[in-house]
Amino acid sequence: MARIFSMLCHNNRHIMSALLKSNRPSKLHACRIALLIGICITLIGCSSGESKVDDQLDVVEQNLAGTQGALNNNGLSNAMMIREYASILKTQRPELYPLLVELEKDATIQGPLFKALQSRFSGLKDGSEYYESWTEKLDEATRLNAATKRDAYNDALSDTVNVIADLSEGKLARVNAISAAVEQTLNKSKDYGKGSQYIGNPHYGHWSHGSGGSFWAWYGQYAFFSSMFGNNRYYYNNWASNRGYSYYHDVGRNHYTSRSQRNSQRDVDTRAKKQFGSQGKYKSPYAKSRGGSTGLSSSSKGLQNSAFKSQYGSSRKTSKYQSSSRTSGFRTSRGVSRGK
């Protein structure tokens, strides 16, 4: 198609040139031809843009296939740890069995994170998801390209590894993150209990709205986090000011979040700002990054640099605990047992 448009525009340029060289060129004809040339140039640009989108989608499709194969064949270290940790805790803490069954799905293609990436890719590929321009499509395709890379996806699973590790009361090691106690000291964050890495992550729950502000509501399969640990209600405004580190929020949020989920996040934040801003009690959860990551892949480090480029945040704070696999005194272990 681009070739056809190019030929049309090439012919129109010759016509335009001939008219302009004549003694009395028709202004009407000149305007029409100029308009045609403009349309041709625009169409060629759109065609070229769509081609860029298609190229990105080809890569995303390859990435998804590779990550799917790795999940199915024990090719991702953090997926293997999820299975191993879940198996250990099913025996040690049988009361958590239903919750662990759900968390274990994150190590498969049935996990909410992988299924969400597949859904976003399908909506972009088959056109069922509407985009106003090819540039919006390209932006989404580029996000998906980065999110579906095998090493980045493996890092994204670290939140689930660490949730299960925390459920073990420190008997199982965290990965890609410092200990809970050190993280709270570093970020001056509050302890929101087991599963706190998931709060605010739209793959595990959503913000529900009430007179006291928006509060976190777990999806049904993760309701154990509420019923097993005190039925605490976590309000957005309090969490936003005091949240701790998680891979999703501090590294991958811009890439592991769909457009509709980002819109929901903006809506919740706008509500909180309107309700609490005048009282001086409002602070965005993304006003600054939280320290706590260790041993991230190069792909994740690239995502981390853009995690706070949004309407929320300021420039990313660099911490001596971020992006280091050799943090003195806070070494992570690939073993399955360690103290708190």
- Cα–Cα distance measured from residue 85 to residue 207, given in angstroms and rounded to the nearest whole number: 29
What was the pLDDT predicted at 32? 61
Confirm if 336 and 91 have CB atoms less than 8 A apart. no
Tokens 């039925």 belong to residue: 231
Side chain identity at residue 264, one-letter code: S
Higher pLDDT: 131 or 281? It is 131
Mean pLDDT throughout 90-104?
96
pLDDT range class, residue 13, cuts 50, 70, 90: very low
CA 197 to chain centre: 14
What was the pLDDT predicted at 29? 60
Q: How far is CA 25 from CA 11, 37, 47, 59, 231, in A?
A: 17, 17, 32, 50, 80
Sequence-separated (6 or more) residues with CB below 8 Å from residue 182: 321, 330
- Cα–Cα distance measured from residue 122 to residue 102, given in angstroms and rounded to the nearest whole number: 24
Higher pLDDT: 178 or 321? It is 178
Secondary structure (3-state) at 216: strand
Single pTM value for the model: 0.81
pLDDT range class, residue 51, cuts 50, 70, 90: very high
- Cα–Cα distance measured from residue 198 to residue 329, given in angstroms and rounded to the nearest whole number: 26
The two tokens of residue 262 are 């980002």
Check whether 215 has a pLDDT greater than 60: yes
pLDDT digits (tens, 9 = 90+) for 66-92: 999 999 999 999 999 999 999 999 999
The two tokens of residue 203 are 């793959």
Q: 293 has which bridge partners? A: 177
Secondary structure (3-state) at 173: coil
pLDDT range class, residue 339, cuts 50, 70, 90: very low
What was the pLDDT predicted at 329? 34
pLDDT range class, residue 232, cuts 50, 70, 90: confident
What was the pLDDT predicted at 45? 55
Check whether 48 has a pLDDT greater than 90: no
Check whether 37 has a pLDDT greater than 90: no
Higher pLDDT: 60 or 277? It is 60
pLDDT digits (tens, 9 = 90+) for 165-188: 999 999 999 999 999 999 999 999
Check whether 319 has a pLDDT greater than 80: no
Mean pLDDT throughout 113-121?
98
What was the pLDDT predicted at 330? 36
What was the pLDDT predicted at 322? 47
The beta strands (E) that lie in 113-262 are given as 205-210, 213-218
Q: How many CB atoms lie within 10 A of CB 219?
A: 14
pLDDT range class, residue 302, cuts 50, 70, 90: confident
Q: Of 44-53, 91-100, 289-298, give the lowest mean pLDDT range.
A: 44-53
